[in-house]
Amino acid sequence: MSKDTVFSGRVWVLAEGGHLIEDIDTDQIYHNAHLHITDIGEMGQYALGNLKGWEDFFSMAEPGDILAAGRNFGAGSSRQQAVDCFRALGVAAILAPSFGAIYFRNAVNSGFPLLRCLELSDWIQDGTLENGDRIEIDLRTGKGKNITKGSVFETEGMSRVQVAVYETGGLFAYGKAIESDGVK
């Protein structure tokens, strides 16, 4: 059962003073005090719990929301809770100019869309994209629409592996799908 690769949602812009916050590390996304938690259902309440000004994110987030962050989002630890806490809240995707390497892998393998867009900082500064805007994104092509503003934009889109893992719903499901196709 494939998931839809085009979706729309409300954007949360993680910015301070009109600029995207850079280097939001895994300790700010999901603090190490909660690392003993292994049940994904309990992780949502700690999402961004250690990022100044965003401690209450979990209570404001709604399923389908999209995050926009500064470069090197998810730098640091390999903790997968930093991806899973957003999945727990039903966050649909995260946009940033770049992501921490392991964070990126964790997201790909969880079937959680991360989209790189180098111009994101410019869009925030020139008002192309604002907090609360509703946007639509096609994960395959990377093309986006700002429904609120009536403008269009482009992200890098997802690689083939990323889309395939996303559509099957995660690494395990993907592995099973490959095996049953006999392509292994």
Partner 1 sequence: MGLTFSEKILGGKAGKTVRAGDVVTVSPDYLLSHDNSAAIIKEFNKLGLEKVQNPEKIVIILDHIVPAAAEKYAQNHKEIREFVAAQGIRHFFDIHHGICHQVFSENGFARPGRLILGADSHTTSYGALGAFAAGIGRSELASIWATDEIWLRVPETLRIVMTGRFQTGVSAKDVILKIIGDNGADRANYMAVEFSGEAAPSFSISSRLVLANMAAEMGAKNGYFPADAVTLDWLRTRSNEVSEPVLSDEDAVFETELEYDLKSIEPQVACPHTVDNVRPVRELEGMPFHQALIGTCTNGRLEDLEAAAAIMKGKTVPSHVRVLIIPASASVYREALRRGLLEIFSEAGCVILNPGCGPCLGAHQGIMAPEETTLSTANRNFRGRMGSRDSQIYLASPETVAASAVRGALTDPRGIQ
Q: Which residues bind partner 1 (CB under 8 A)?
A: 23, 25-28, 31-33, 35-36, 38-39, 50, 52, 71-72, 75-80, 83, 98-102, 104-106, 109-110, 161, 170-172, 175
CA distances from 42 to 84, 87, 89, 168, 169 (A): 10, 11, 10, 24, 20
Q: How far is the CB of 143 from partner 1 (least distance, A)?
A: 24
Nearer CB in complex with partner 1: 101/152: 101
CA nearest neighbour of 91 among 75, 72, 69: 69
Q: How far is the CB of 145 from partner 1 (least distance, A)?
A: 28
Tell me which DSSP letter residue 71 carries.
S
CA nearest neighbour of 4 among 125, 116, 166, 132: 166
CA nearest neighbour of 99 among 138, 124, 70, 121: 70
Nearer CB in complex with partner 1: 112/135: 112
Q: How far is the CB of 126 from partner 1 (least distance, A)?
A: 23
Nearer CB in complex with partner 1: 9/113: 113
CA nearest neighbour of 9 among 108, 165, 147, 156: 147
Q: How far is the CB of 176 from partner 1 (least distance, A)?
A: 9
Nearer CB in complex with partner 1: 106/146: 106
